[in-house]
Amino acid sequence: MWGYVTVGYLLVFVVVFAYAIHVLVKGRSLSKQVPPENRRWM
Amino acid sequence: MVPAHTGSRTTRLLGLAVLAGIAVVLVLALAVTGPDAVQGDAARLIYLHVPVAVSMNVGFGLCTLGSVMWLWKKSRWWDTVAVSAAEVGLVFTGLTLVTGMVWGRPTWGVYWTWDARLTTFSLLFLLYLGYLVVRHLPADLEVRNRRSAYVALLAFVDVPIVYLSVSWWRGLHQTATLSLSSTISGLMLFTLVLGIVVSLMGFLWLLVHRFRVAWLEDEVEIAGLDLAISERRAEAGIVEVSTP
C-alpha cells in the first residue's frame, strides 16, 4: 500500500516542481525582452 | 537595475509559506494520522487528491470569471487571468487524474474504469486542453481572446456535471469526501482542510507567476506587431506624422 502512496506523492511534487521551474525560466527569458515600465509588478 | 523575472516580495513570502505548509501537511498526512478503517494507508492519497481537485475547480472558476469579464469589459487583464487560470488548472486536473488512478488501483483493483466521475473528468481535461489549443491558434489578439472566452464558457459546463456525477449515476467512485453528510472528522479532517489551504496557496503562487508570464508574452507579441507595421510602412514609403 505504501508503494502507491509514495508514487502518488512523488508524482505530484515532481510535476508541480517541474511546472514551476518551467514558468519561472520562461518568465526570466521574456522579462529580458520587455522594458521595465511594462513589468508593473516590479 | 530592475531584476528580470516574474517574482516580487509578495510571491517570495507566499512561496515560503507554501513550502512550510507542504512540510506540515506531509508530516501530518504520512506520519501523524493513522490509516483509514476501510481503505487503510491508501486513504493518505486523499490528502493530496482532494486538495488538487479543489484548486483545479477554483482555477476553472477563475477562467470562467476572466472570460465573462473579458467579453463584458474587453480588459486584457481579465483575459490574462482566464488563460493563466486555465493552464494552471489543467496541470492540477492532470494531477487529480493521476492521484485518483494511483488511489484506485489498491482501492478498486484497477487504475481506470469508465465510471461516470472518471469519464466526465477526463472530458473536462480534454475540454480545457482544447481551450489552450484554441488559444494558440494564430489570430488577431481580439479574435483570439473572444473565441477562447467562448470555449472557456463551454468547457465550464462540465465542471458541475463532474461534481454531481457521483450523485446522478451509480459508479465506483465514492461520493464527495467533504460534505455535510461525510463522516471524516478529527485529525484526518484537519489534515485534509490544511492540505486544501496549502494547495490553494500553491495554486495562487503558480497563478501569479503564470499571469505575469502571459502578460509578458502579450507584450512581446504587441511589440513585434508594432515593429512589423512600422517596417511595412517604411517599405511603402508612408511617413508617420506625430500629432502634438
**What are the pLDDT digits (tens) for B180-197?**
667 777 899 999 999 999
CA distance B13 to B32: 27
Q: What angle do CA B52, B58, B61 make, to 5 degrees?
A: 140
Residue B117 contacts A, CB cutoff 8 Å: no
Residue A17 contacts B, CB cutoff 8 Å: no
Residue B81 contacts A, CB cutoff 8 Å: no
Cβ atoms B146, B71 nearer than 8 A: yes
Task: Find cell 507542504 and name the residue.
Answer: B22
- Nearest-CA distance from A21 to chain B in Å? 10
Which pairs with CB-CB distance under 8 Å and at least 24 residues apart come from B19-24?
Answer: B21/B194, B21/B197, B21/B198, B21/B201, B21/B202, B22/B198, B22/B202, B24/B194, B24/B198
Helices B141-156 and B186-236, axial angle in degrees (round to 10)? 160
Task: Evaluate if residue B239 carries a pLDDT over 80.
Answer: no
- The DSSP call for residue B68 is H
Confidence band for B27, pLDDT divided at 50, 70 and 90 = very high
Residue B26 contacts A, CB cutoff 8 Å: yes
pLDDT at B244: 55
Confidence band for B175, pLDDT divided at 50, 70 and 90 = confident
pLDDT at B4: 80
- Mean local confidence (pLDDT), B12-30: 97
Of B3, B48, B220, nearest to A34 by CB-CB distance is: B220
Confidence band for A30, pLDDT divided at 50, 70 and 90 = very high
Residue A21 contacts B, CB cutoff 8 Å: no
Residue A30 contacts B, CB cutoff 8 Å: yes
CA distance A24 to B20: 20
Strand partners, B36: B40
Bigger pLDDT: B37 vs B88: B88
Q: Which of B6, B204, B222 to mutate to test the interface with A (most CBs of A within 10 A)?
A: B6
CA distance B222 to B241: 21
Contact assignment for A9 to B30 by CB distance below 8 Å: yes
ipTM above 0.90, yes or no: yes
- A vs B, Cβ pairs < 8 A, gives 100
- Nearest-CA distance from B168 to chain A in Å? 28
Contact assignment for B26 to A9 by CB distance below 8 Å: yes
pLDDT at A41: 66
Burial class from Cβ neighbours inside 10 Å (0-12, 13-18, 19+) for residue B59 reads buried
pLDDT at B174: 76
The pTM for the full model equals 0.90
Contact assignment for B209 to A38 by CB distance below 8 Å: no
Average pLDDT, chain A: 91
Cell (9 digits) for B176: 464527495
Q: Which of A13, A21, A23 to mutate to test the interface with B (most CBs of B within 10 A)?
A: A23
Torsion angle of alpha carbons B2, B85, B28, B194, nearest 10°? 100
> For residue B177, which phi and psi values (nearest 5 degrees)?
-65, -35
Confidence band for B228, pLDDT divided at 50, 70 and 90 = confident
- Nearest-CA distance from A14 to chain B in Å? 11
**What are the pLDDT digits (tens) for B104-158?**
999 999 999 999 999 999 999 999 999 999 999 988 889 999 999 999 999 999 9
Average pLDDT, chain B: 91
